[in-house]
């Protein structure tokens, strides 16, 4: 079974003073872009919404996550200009065994708006409280 990859988008984000929350429209645009993308394992990506990822000063925020891979959080994603960059990063992320990617490899817009890159969990807690 292929690793499930997840993109999660904040649907609460909005620019200061602007009532419009672009997250839901960003999800729709990404779903359309992924359906049109033939080179990516689009079926391996689930795109879902979240309420807040503590990146409220950088709307709209978007994250990548997959089991055994590094996780990323990006901010200032614009649904009108950044779809291609997100799809490009998704392709890269999908193909990296551990998801770890140096900034020089991924699209400039995302590189400049990386809020977090969190390494994959490599240690697991067992029920007895020991580490394995």
Q: Specify the residue, 3 or 48, whose C-beta has the smaller distance to ligand FES.
A: 48
Q: How far is the CB of 62 from ligand FES (least distance, A)?
A: 10
Where does residue 93 fall: left (phi above 0), alpha (psi -120 to 50 degrees), or beta otherwise? alpha
Q: Specify the residue, 29 or 44, whose C-beta has the smaller distance to ligand FES.
A: 29
Give the CA distances from residue 42 to residues 27, 38, 45, 91, 125, in Å, rounded to whole numbers and listed in that order. Answer: 14, 8, 5, 9, 32
Told to check if 42 binds ligand FES by CB under 6 A, we report no
Q: Interface mask (CB under 6 A) for ligand FES, residues 11-40, using x and -? A: -xx---------------------------
What CA–CA distance (Å, rounded) separates 40 from 87?
A: 9
Among 26, 30, 47, 55, binds ligand FES (CB under 6 A): 55
CB 71 within 8 A of CB 99: yes
What CA–CA distance (Å, rounded) separates 86 from 83?
A: 5
Told to check if 77 binds ligand FES by CB under 6 A, we report no
For binding to ligand FES (CB under 6 A), which residues are involved?
10, 12-13, 52-56, 59, 61
């Amino acid at each position: 079974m292929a690793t499930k990859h997840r993109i999660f988008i904040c649907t609460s984000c909005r620019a200061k003073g602007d009532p419009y929350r672009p997250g839901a429209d960003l999800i729709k645009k990404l779903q359309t872009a992924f359906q049109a993308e033939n080179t990516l394992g689009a079926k391996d990506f689930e795109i879902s919404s979240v309420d807040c990822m503590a990146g409220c000063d950088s709307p709209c925020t978007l994250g990548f996550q997959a089991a055994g891979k590094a996780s990323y959080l990006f901010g200032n994603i614009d649904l009108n200009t950044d779809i291609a960059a997100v799809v490009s990063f998704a392709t890269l992320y999908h193909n990296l065994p551990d998801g770890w990617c140096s900034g020089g490899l991924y699209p400039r817009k995302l590189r400049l708006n990386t809020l977090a890159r969190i390494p994959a969990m490599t240690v697991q807690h067992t029920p007895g409280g020991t580490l394995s």
